[in-house]
Structure 1
Amino acid sequence: MTAWDILEIEPTEELSAIKKAYARKLKVHHPEEDPAGYQRLREAYDWAVKYQRTAVKRASVPVEAGVRAEEYDIGGNDQAEAAVEMDNYAEADVHIPTPPPVDWRDYQDPFRRNEKLIDEFMNRVEELYENFAERIDIEEWTALLDSDVIWNFELKREASERLLAFLEDYPFLPKSIWQLLDSNFQWSQEAFDEDHPFWDYASDRFSEYFQHQVKPYYPGLSYSFLLRAKNIDFDAYLYCRECALQHLIVNEMEQAEEWLHKAEAIFTGDPELLRLKGSVYLHTGRLERASEALGQVMQINPDDIEARMMLAYTLYESKQLPEAIQQCKIILDAKPDHIDTLSIYGKSLFEQNQLAESRNIFKRIEEMEPNASEAVTYLAAIHVRMIKELPANERPPLSELNKELQKPGAGKQLLLFLGRLPKIKMMFLFALMAYSWHVFTDMVYLNPFEFVLVLVFSFFVEEISASFFGFWSCIWLLFFAWIFRKFIREIRKAWRAARY
């Protein structure tokens, strides 16, 4: 039986065809269910890949008829033999024969030794997974990855494929362990590598789940609090919890809540599940139930900063301001620069009309993030209240308030004003005004301002006559006045923009 017979394809030099055949047959000869069949399949695949690469290299050699031995700098009889071989290759049709039958007995002993190492490695993986305390212990996995299998390149590749196949059926590991495995086996890079056949037949669901676990921005759920659970189906619970998280991320609240209820039916003492419940209730406007769920998280895990911040926000939204302020203070004692908590704290103080304290909080936020629009907005609102409600001796100077609102100084105002002047609209208005000035001056031999003075004095001084003032000069004077008025308005807009 040849390698092509095992792969069930015709002899080919196309690597993609070999890989597809291997992936298709791998579903039939699973490493755990049919180890002997998997052995034959793997050896056939490796042989076919080497055959394909050799054929490609031979086909890429540039050979021309009539090449002489002396043109090859390889020396001696080898030189003449190479020349003859190249001549024959050039003259004859290139034909790559079907590979001879593979005698698998030649590979049996070393394969058995290697297979034993792989089996021991996978047995340890199964032991780790079945023991939940060891499954979530990163030190246990680190020790596993220090085995001899990982230090052997060929064995490591096979162990990588078998481990991935195992994890496709049993994927529930902490995010840190997924990242540890990925850093050792480079799965996230091989997912885009055509030389790695596993990803050709891995399910889309598992591929997506894997990508979520190795990406740092995707939220990871804690497993440690499940150690207190007794006699539960951990995988069933973790599956429900993971489905709830995925629906929550894409804002499918109804489906997320359904999976949360299914998870609760298995185990109820997980603060991660309670935090997900609180998030669902918060997004759907059920503030009282959100506060209750997040309060339970605080009882189980008081150090969960994210859940405590969500609780503070929920209390703020439900107008329980003293309680929200208390939760914010607890967080800020541990993390003084937690900007989201500072925002909730400052808004709660503002709602309680503690203007000076709220102003200090938003000033801190503005120092941390100079372009924070929320901080500037609340500072402006605080200043308005201070001016309306506080006596002059109790509120800060106006210059200090303007500085907090990032209003520019006099010099910068002038630069901004000059920068706004050469706008297209203002240039167009200026051109119209100059043209109307020129036409009017040619008609009455006076500019518009001089003409207005003459016209005014003609009402009081008899010697001055306005008889030269005609219909068209009146039209052009009105047009100039209208353009001049719009030009002045644009200048005022530019000045206001520069000031604020």
Structure 2
Amino acid sequence: MICWWDILEIPYDSDTKTIKKAYAKLLKVHNPEDDAEGYQRLRQAYNEAIMYSKKNNVNQYDNTSNLEGVSYNLNNSTLQNLKEENNQDLTEFNSSIYEYDEKISGNSSIVKIYNEVQNPEININEQIEQFFYRLEEIYKNIYLRIDTTVWEELLNSDVLWNAESFKTIEDMLFDFLCTHKYLPAEIWIKLNNNFTWSRNEIKLYNKYSETIVDEILKNLKTPNKLKYDYVRDINPDIIDEYLYERQEGYEALQEKNYAKAYISLNKAKALFDQDPELLRTIGDYNYEFNHMNEALKYYKLAFQINNYDLECVLHIGKILVSYELFSEAVPYFKVWLSYNNNDKFALDYMSYCYYYSNDLVMARESFKRLLSFDENNKLIKKYLKNIEAKLEGKYVRQIKFYKDNLLEEVETEKVIRSKRLYEEEKKPLNLSNIFRTVIFIVMIIGALGCMAEHRNQVEINYDNTKESKIDTNNVLFSDIITPKQFINASINSNVKMHLFEVKPIKYYKISEVFENRVIFSEDELKQKGLNNKVESQLYIGTLKQQVFIFSDSKCSKKTIDKSGSYELKGAKCFIDTNIENKIQKEYASLYPSYHWVPGGFIDASQDEINKAINKNSKLIK
């Protein structure tokens, strides 16, 4: 007779936990629908193992003193004796199974046989009800909801070891998660490991709507990275509303849907503003728009609450360096490097921080580490040479700081290649002095040019009679080839871009400000009597699956290319948020799955182009 430990493929002295794990593993092999006999043998072995374990108190931690001196390397005769001794108990248990089998009809399923034999005194339905009562209790209490130990206990409930009740719970639990989906990533992983929904997609799509399945599978496969550690103090009545807005804002930001991200993140902040995960995400939003003051503010707020947030640490350090606040940036890069000590990027920033904070010894050490990653880096060698000279007491000037030292390094490499060419031609020239002279001359010419341009621009009279004389073709426009370039462009700056899928919309720009805005819908123009003040119609067009809003009196069916493209030149201007949202809502169906670029619209009127010129001329000192 085959013993239960042979069927379960475990040692005879295994504890209950090991027995259950072995059963769960073999259950995948002996599926009751495909292998009823194998499944019955497996269930009987499982019952026998549990009975033996409980009867003999096998491997219980509170009885470890009784196990002293016992050898687990049993010889064959000892093992055979144990098998024979255990067979008596097994025979008695088997007889109870056979007696029960005779009482049920031959058409009863093998699952029902197991259920009744295993625990005839317990009602399975009651166990299932208890399971879901506990589940709701856990979800309602945020402390329990984010506690992995609590979930492990729930998912290790005896009722889940019953094949019939397992299937019922699996279906009911999926239904529950459709409306209770705000869980930490580690909980989603545990659920997926227990129920393997991600490997049964076809079955799920056949039973539930595509939208629901897509969302659940996304949570199972790529759970939201936002943590739940700091939401315990939030009002329980609004916890799910807050988590919804936080998640919507985070995902919209990842997808570059900035308008949606802005709305959701602000709603979440209005509900609860002490979650460092949200504060960091708001910092990321501002960082995307190059609003460094705001980004720094939110990164610091997040870091004050969570001192282990390395993403905040790195961003704070980078922003402080961009402001040339080197001493202030040092502790942040120290924290980052304590976890990522070979991060070349952070080392690079830290080296400059030490150097410009006048901590030359640490700067030398840091630059030497950088040099070990890139032995031919001329810029690093230049800094090290400068540091050594200073430490020796020599008078040397501090190297000027440039935000983009990599570009400086590329330029240096170009000069070196030129030097090699001269050497090959054997021309006795001192290229170093020549190069310095050329740079000096270029700088003087550039400065004189800027002064002349400034004088000319200041002399321009911007009255209405002369504005039209400015030649748009001679105005400097920034080429916009990506949506991010437009977002980073400042308000009242001239831009040039090529838009596609251009379409007119029923919104118009008027010639003067009315009610603090210049853009109105067609209906509003009629209601407010503004038809006589219309300057141009508004249009929408796309670039890299992002939608832009613009006004241009020259744009029409005749000037739009047959393919729907249009070359646009104008100034980036502010747009009222409410109007922007209304336009997006009304015309979103024209560009399904596209995102709308926030932060302004392009005004091609000569007035706005001239204002941008005037603004830029005033910035030149």
TM-score normalized by the length of structure 2: 0.41
TM-score normalized by the length of structure 1: 0.50
* Structure whose alpha-carbon radius of gyration is higher: 1
Higher helix share: 1
Higher strand share: 2
